[in-house]
């Protein structure tokens, strides 16, 4: 089941995920220690970055990175490290080298929406069907609004397959958002659940209302006015920019990744930019930046406020939240807005300090030699920047609440992520990738989750609000009459696990069934060899038809399961998936389940004819394995239902 953990981590950390909620990687070696007296100047920032980046890139085998810093609303510095082309020895140039910025594109999409809101063309709280030339498929009667889409509370389940298009394919945005959308599994406005589809839908609304392709609207109304002449939303890149795109690598030691990552949900992750251009964009969100007036100050302020309140979100509104297209954070008592972004190989982070008129952007062209290497570098740069230049204390003072022990005991349990899949076979990934919260004797809680990468300890700093110890991430619990309904983070929500079929039960049944069926298949040739060597007679023909059909069922069940697993690996590697093939897997899996009928006949016949305890036990185990695997398959959409994941 290593695929399960790896799969969920990949979903969160890549695929234009962009959320900054994954747990911290081990801290890198820092050549220049943090200082409360550090001055935000070009000289100090350059020295700090030069001490940090080269050592980290070398240690983690990240090929190249670029950083830009804005202070007092102006570009303070921009630095390039490593190589944009390792083989050619081409260094990263912060002005010339282009990087895919993935989900930071969502901030551009939100900015485009807000420009149309300012112009009176859109309203944040009007049902989106008013702005579309089709009706959005939904499961709830409540309005679905742009406010919901920009704050990731539209209620849509996760979508994995075909996040990246094959070479030569072009994005048809209307086709992407209209045909076979992800299922709406939460009531709009109630449950944060990060959604690429929701932002893509907002981008199509921009396209439909403005009457021009989305990428054209972004270039004419955002990039050009902001002076971002090295940036584009087009896929692939225009000729004049294509030659400047950095090569991309898994690690600096390996060959470059040849494919251009064409994001299917384009408004959720299509942008390409340089570090200096991103400095121009950060200036848009700073009060003192002259000439960066894409939006009115009151609009910028609105985007940086919580998009929804406790009336809509319940208790989870007390923790980290989304603004309109921006993640809202706090560190050292300072407000931060921003976004992260990941493709398979490019990784970026943008953080803006509105009150300080400052910001930092980092981007890199490799994933590195560990699963969290790129994420660790982002944290080292962004958290290190805050601690060095904006030190201070958390607003709560870091003091534990008197109710900590009691509330920790209430939170203890098993949870699933709202950013998950419910309606098809990929739900299996999430049902066995649960989050565990354990209460400690001193009243803290320890959270262990696929999303965090390692156990993380939190203490209660306000009633039902928990802050990471030695960190700044928060968890806010929605508790009613002593029952935990949800635990919120910025990007998604932890929901109590299904008590009817908790993940460990599903995992145990699946693993046990597969093991029994594999041993059964291996026993066939071994049994034949033993029988021939010992000159034992064949079994009589009575009941032979049931035994043959049972063998077919065993083989078909394993083949179907292997097909599902291979498809998930394919999707998580951003390779194209054929849904027609998946329907074939459903048929094969269903035939495997039907094989439980002849398997039951074999057991009955062996018992009736007294074929021996060993044979009867083996028959019962095979029957149980077929039924167990069939149960998992039937409850996770592997026999009937949608295969679009």
**pLDDT tens, position by position, 58-78:** 999 999 999 999 999 899 999
Q: Average pLDDT, stretch 429-443? A: 85
d(CA 637, CA 54): 48
Alpha-carbon torsion, ordered 225, 385, 396, 315, to 10 deg:
50
Is CATH 2.60.120.560 correct for 2-389? no
In angstroms, the CA 410 to CA 299 distance is 40
Residue 614: pLDDT band (50, 70, 90) is: confident
Those residues with Cβ within 8 angstroms of residue 417's Cβ, 6 or more apart along the chain or in another chain: 430, 435, 449, 450, 451, 492, 493, 494, 495
Q: What is the pTM of this model?
A: 0.90
- Name the DSSP letter for residue 485: E
Q: Among 336, 252, 215, 325, which residue's Cα sits nearest to residue 54?
A: 252
Mean pLDDT of 131-146: 96
Q: Which of 352-356, 370-374, 376-380, 488-492 has the lowest mean pLDDT?
A: 488-492
Q: What is the pLDDT of residues 146-188, one digit of tens each?
A: 999 999 999 999 988 888 888 788 999 999 999 989 999 999 9
Confidence of residue 579 (pLDDT cuts 50, 70, 90): confident
Decide: 223 and 273 in contact? Cβ < 8 Å.
no
Where along the chain do its domains lie? Answer: 2-389, 505-635
Confidence of residue 31 (pLDDT cuts 50, 70, 90): very low
Q: Which residue has the higher pLDDT, 532 or 236?
A: 236
pLDDT band with cut points at 50, 70 and 90 for residue 24: very low
Strand partners for 100 = 272
Query: What are the residue ranges of helices labelled H in 236-366?
Result: 239-242, 275-283, 297-303, 310-313
- Burial of 127-139, coded b for 16+ CB within 10 Å and e otherwise, reads bbeebbeeebebe
CB 192 within 8 A of CB 490: yes
Strands (DSSP E) found in 126-260? 164-165
Q: What is the mean pLDDT of residues 488-511?
A: 79
Q: H or E element: which one contains 348?
A: strand 347-353
* Beta bridge partners of residue 495, listed in sequence order: 416
């Amino acid at each position: 089941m290593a695929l399960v953990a790896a799969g969920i981590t990949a979903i969160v950390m890549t695929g234009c995920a962009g959320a900054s909620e994954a747990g911290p990687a081990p801290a890198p070696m820092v050549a220049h220690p943090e200082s409360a007296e550090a001055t935000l100047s070009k000289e100090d920032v350059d020295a700090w970055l030069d001490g940090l980046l080269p050592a980290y890139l070398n240690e983690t085998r990240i090929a190249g990175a670029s950083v830009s810093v804005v202070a007092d609303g102006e570009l303070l510095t921009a630095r390039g490290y490593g190589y944009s082309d390792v083989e050619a020895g081409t260094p990263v140039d912060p002005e010339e080298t282009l990087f895919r910025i993935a989900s930071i594109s969502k901030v551009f999409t939100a900015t485009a929406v807000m420009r149309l809101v300012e112009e009176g063309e859109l309203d944040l709280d009007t049902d989106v069907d008013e702005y579309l030339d089709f009706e959005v498929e939904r499961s709830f009667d409540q309005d679905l609004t742009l406010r919901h889409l920009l704050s990731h509370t539209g209620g849509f389940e996760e979508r994995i397959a075909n996040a990246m298009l094959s070479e030569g394919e072009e994005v048809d945005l209307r086709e992407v958002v209209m045909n076979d959308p992800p299922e709406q599994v939460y009531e709009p406005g109630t449950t944060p659940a990060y959604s690429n589809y929701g932002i893509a839908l907002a981008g199509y609304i921009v396209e439909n209302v403005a009457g021009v392709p989305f990428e054209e609207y972004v270039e004419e109304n955002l990039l050009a006015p902001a002076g971002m002449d090295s940036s584009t939303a087009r896929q692939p890149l225009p000729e004049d920019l294509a030659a400047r795109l950095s090569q991309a690598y898994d690690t600096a030691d390996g060959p470059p990744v040849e494919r251009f990552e064409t994001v299917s949900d384009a408004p959720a992750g299509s942008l390409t930019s340089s570090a200096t251009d991103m400095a121009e964009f950060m200036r848009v969100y700073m009060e003192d930046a002259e000439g960066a007036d894409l939006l009115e100050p009151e609009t910028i302020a609105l985007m940086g406020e919580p998009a929804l309140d406790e009336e809509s979100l319940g208790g989870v509104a007390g923790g980290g939240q989304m603004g309109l297209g921006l993640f809202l954070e706090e560190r050292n008592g300072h407000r931060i807005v921003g976004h992260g972004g990941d493709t398979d190989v490019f990784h970026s982070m943008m953080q803006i300090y509105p009150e300080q008129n400052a910001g930092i952007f980092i981007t890199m062209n490799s994933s590195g030699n560990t699963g969290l290497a790129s994420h660790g570098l982002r944290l080292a740069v962004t958290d290190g920047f805050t601690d060095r230049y904006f030190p201070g204390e958390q607003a709560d003072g870091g003091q534990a609440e008197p109710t900590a022990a009691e509330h920790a005991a209430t939170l203890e349990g098993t949870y699933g992520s709202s950013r998950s899949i419910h309606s098809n076979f990929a739900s299996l990934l999430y049902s066995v990738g649960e989050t565990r919260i354990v209460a400690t004797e001193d009243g803290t809680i320890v959270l262990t989750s696929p999303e965090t990468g390692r156990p993380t300890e939190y203490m209660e700093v306000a009633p039902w609000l928990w802050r990471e110890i030695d960190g700044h991430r928060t968890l806010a619990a929605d508790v009613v009459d002593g029952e935990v309904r949800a635990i919120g983070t910025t990007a998604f929500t932890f929901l109590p696990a299904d008590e009817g079929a908790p993940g460990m039960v599903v995992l145990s049944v699946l693993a046990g069934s597969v093991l029994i069926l594999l041993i059964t298949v291996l026993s066939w040739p071994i049994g034949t060899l033993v029988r021939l060597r010992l000159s034992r007679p064949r079994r009589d023909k009575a009941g032979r038809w049931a035994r043959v059909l049972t063998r077919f069922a065993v083989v078909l069940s394993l083949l179907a399961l292997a097909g599902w697993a291979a498809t998930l690996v394919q999707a998580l590697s951003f390779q194209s998936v054929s849904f027609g093939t998946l329907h074939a897997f459903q048929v094969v899996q269903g035939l495997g389940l039907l094989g439980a009928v002849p398997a039951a006949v074999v057991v009955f016949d062996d018992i009736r004819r007294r074929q021996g305890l060993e044979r009867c036990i083996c028959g019962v185990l095979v029957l149980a394995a077929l039924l167990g695997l069939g149960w998992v398959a039937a409850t996770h959409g592997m026999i009937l239902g949608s295969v679009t994941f």
